């Protein structure tokens, strides 16, 4: 059964033991995010929980009607799986199928999001967007609270195709926020089309709703696919939408808060610094501005924030999960490479730069088909893209490093491609460079490295004892009372295509103690030695 609203989901997290309720009053400007940050700097990934802050204050001593939820979408994989209503190991396939079999949304007449409607003077008197306890993400360095988990709804001004996406936004005034977009993003296309038409771009920002919409908002869903449809696919039921008050857009009926307004195409404003996904502060940049015309919200709303910034974070986790699935679906179903098995975006790359593709190739071109397609999916995504064989765990950096070490030769298996674009990558250009010049630094933009680390020929067997000896030794291990084992895979040798029959026979003789016979046989095959080629040539 799909969750009907955010509260339903939060209660379920609580019942599953995946939520901390914090009743102590917390300063949203200085204390809230550092507290949640600790679980990313001090607890193993799967032990992290969601936080619900029930009593908030700020540095001006205000109190708030609203609660704040952080980490409820993706502080851990178990939390994300709870949001999808599935097991952790089912997440990727659910995501793939939701894209293949989307379910369109359903319009309804009203909903809780209309419990409070604020416009004009009433909006200003209530404090506008600043009436909510929006946390400062990186106190000490951020120059304001930012919207970190907005689901921004816009329509293509020409085709009316909907896009829902997440773009950070600086709180600049009671009815004004910044918004950071990139021309390569779908909202960037909407903005450019609006500008060419001499229009501003109407937008509605959802702050808190059923998890499915958030999951899609942060995903890289292809242009022209309505995120609400995929969200319905994830939910297994249509998302119920209501019309906005002041813009021709639709938002989930059970949203906690919806902010309506327009993105100006007439001017840009300085925004940031803001702590970014890369692990560095994003620099001051000229960005668009969102002017607010109306806010609707539930009574006693829950303001949802993502904790992002230095990886790993909630944002790297939710991006990873959806990007893994989107890239897998893209390569496997759209790009004609059915042998692709798994995709793993690495969180330490912000789930953005370092991508490993596992495939069970049936011909030697498939890894390059996958690498070339993967690097082309999005101009800003993928700096290091690696293909590996099915016995390599694409999520485990040690397993991938094993493949890099012994399954590729750099002069044969590495290609560098330029023409990529930077999305907040500080290596793109010196600090202080103008926004546009760092996005596509002259003359060739940024670049990506493609590495085929699949094996190019049959390999000899993996050098661990055969399964029967390892299994028997485990019995002895336990009989001796040695410490409990947590098995790492692989734990025994396995064949990789090259294992001549003679070697197998000799190995069987060896474990019977008959190795001197093999030694004797090999002596009969001696050949005269006249120096190694490498010493002579």
Return the residues of window 349-368 that contact a copy of itself according to CB under 8 A.
Answer: 349-350, 352-354
Residue 324 contacts residue 360 (beta carbons within 8 Å): no
Of 109, 267, 299, 363, which one interacts with a copy of itself (CB under 8 A)? Answer: 267
Write out the binding residues for a copy of itself, residues 10-29 only, by CB under 8 A: 20, 22, 24, 26, 29
Q: Give Dmax over CA atoms of the chain in angstroms.
A: 100
Count of positions (residues) in the chain: 537
Binding to a copy of itself (CB under 8 A) within 492-531 occurs at: 493, 496-500, 503, 506-507, 509-513, 515-516, 518-520, 522-523, 525-529, 531
> Any contact of residue 387 with a copy of itself (CB under 8 A)?
no
- Confirm or reject binding of residue 408 to a copy of itself (CB under 8 A): yes
H or E segment at 340?
A: strand 340-345
Select the residue interacting with a copy of itself from 226, 279, 293, 341 (CB under 8 A).
279
Site size with a copy of itself, rule: CB under 8 A: 170
Q: Which of 13, 33, 84, 98 binds a copy of itself (CB under 8 A)?
A: 33
Restricted to residues 56-85, the positions that interact with a copy of itself (CB under 8 A) are 58-60
Q: Does residue 252 interact with a copy of itself by CB under 8 A?
A: no
Q: Does 198 bind a copy of itself (CB under 8 A)?
A: no
CB atoms within 10 A of CB 182: 17
Shortest approach of a copy of itself to residue 363 CB, angstroms?
Answer: 16
State the CB neighbour count (10 A cutoff) for residue 496. Answer: 15
Whether the Cβ atoms of residue 342 and residue 374 lie closer than 8 Å to each other: no
- CB 398 → a copy of itself: shortest distance, Å? 5
DSSP state string for 320-357: HHHHHHHHHHIIIIISS-TTEEEEEE-GGGTTTSEEEE
Cβ burial 418-454 (10 Å sphere, 16+ → b, else e): eebbbbbbbebbeeeeebeebbbbeeebbebebbbbb
Q: Applying CB under 8 A, which part among 30-38, 72-80, 229-237, 246-254 lies near a copy of itself?
A: 30-38
Least distance to a copy of itself, CB of residue 104, Å: 31
| Residue in 117, 183, 225, 372 binding a copy of itself, rule: CB under 8 A | 183
Part of the chain binding a copy of itself (CB under 8 A), chosen from 86-94, 148-156, 231-239, 454-462? 454-462
What whole-number distance in Å separates Cα of residue 300 and Cα of residue 432?
42
Instruction: Assess contact for 184 and 109: CB atoms under 8 A.
Output: no
Q: Give the x/- contact pattern for a copy of itself in 412-431, rule: CB under 8 A.
A: x-x-x-x--x---xxxx-xx
Q: Given the complex with a copy of itself, which of 35 and 86 has the nearer CB atom?
A: 35
Cα angle 309, 349, 207; round to 5: 40
């Amino acid at each position: 059964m799909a969750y009907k609203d955010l509260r339903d989901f939060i209660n379920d997290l609580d019942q599953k033991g995946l939520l901390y309720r914090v009743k102590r009053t917390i300063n949203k400007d200085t204390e809230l995010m550092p507290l949640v940050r600790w679980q990313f700097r001090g607890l193993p990934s799967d032990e992290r929980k969601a936080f619900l802050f029930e009593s908030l204050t700020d540095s001006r001593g205000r109190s708030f009607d609203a609660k704040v939820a952080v980490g409820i979408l993706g502080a851990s994989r178990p939390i994300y799986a709870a949001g999808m209503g599935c097991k952790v190991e089912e997440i990727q396939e659910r995501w793939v199928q939701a894209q293949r079999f989307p379910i369109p949304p359903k319009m309804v007449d009203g909903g809780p999001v209309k419990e409070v409607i604020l416009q004009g003077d009433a909006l200003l008197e209530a404090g506008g967007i600043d009436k909510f306890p929006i946390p400062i993400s990186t106190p000490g360095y951020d120059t304001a609270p930012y919207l970190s988990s907005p689901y921004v709804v816009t329509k293509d001004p020409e085709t009316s195709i909907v896009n829902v996406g997440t773009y950070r936004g600086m709180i600049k005034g009671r009815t004004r926020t910044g918004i950071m977009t990139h021309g390569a993003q779908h909202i960037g296309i909407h903005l450019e089309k609006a500008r060419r038409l001499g229009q501003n771009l109407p937008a509605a920002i959802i702050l808190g709703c059923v998890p499915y919409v958030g999951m899609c908002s942060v995903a890289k869903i292809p242009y022209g696919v309505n995120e609400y449809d995929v969200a319905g696919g994830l939910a297994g039921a249509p998302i119920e939408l209501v019309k906005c008050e002041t813009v021709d857009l639709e938002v989930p009926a059970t949203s906690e808060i919806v902010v309506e307004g327009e993105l100006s195409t007439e001017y840009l404003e300085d925004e940031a610094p803001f702590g970014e996904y890369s692990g560095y502060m994003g620099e001051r940049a000229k960005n668009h501005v969102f002017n607010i015309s109306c806010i609707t919200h539930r009574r006693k709303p829950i303001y949802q924030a993502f904790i992002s910034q230095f990886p790993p974070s909630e944002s790297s986790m939710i991006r990873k999960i959806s990007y893994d699935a989107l890239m897998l679906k893209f390569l496997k179903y759209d790009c004609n490479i059915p042998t692709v098995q798994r995709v793993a975006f690495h969180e330490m790359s912000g789930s953005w730069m370092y991508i490993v593709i596992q495939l069970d190739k049936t011909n030697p071109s498939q890894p390059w088909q996958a690498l070339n397609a993967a690097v082309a999916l999005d101009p800003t995504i993928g700096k290091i893209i690696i293909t590996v064989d099915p016995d390599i765990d694409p999520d485990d950096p040690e397993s991938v490093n094993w493949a890099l070490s012994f399954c590729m030769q750099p002069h044969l298996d590495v290609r560098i491609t330029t023409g990529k674009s930077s999305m907040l990558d500080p290596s793109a250009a010196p600090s202080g460079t103008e926004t546009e010049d760092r996005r596509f630094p002259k003359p060739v933009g940024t670049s990506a490295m493609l590495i085929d680390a699949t094996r190019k020929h049959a390999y000899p067997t993996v050098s661990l004892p055969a399964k029967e000896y390892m299994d028997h030794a485990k019995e002895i291990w336990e009989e001796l009372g040695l410490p409990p084992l947590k098995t790492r895979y692989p734990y025994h040798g396995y064949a990789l295509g090259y294992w001549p029959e003679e070697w197998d026979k000799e190995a069987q003789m060896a474990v019977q103690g008959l190795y001197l016979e093999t030694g004797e046989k090999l002596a009969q095959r001696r050949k005269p030695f006249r120096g190694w080629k490498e010493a002579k040539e």
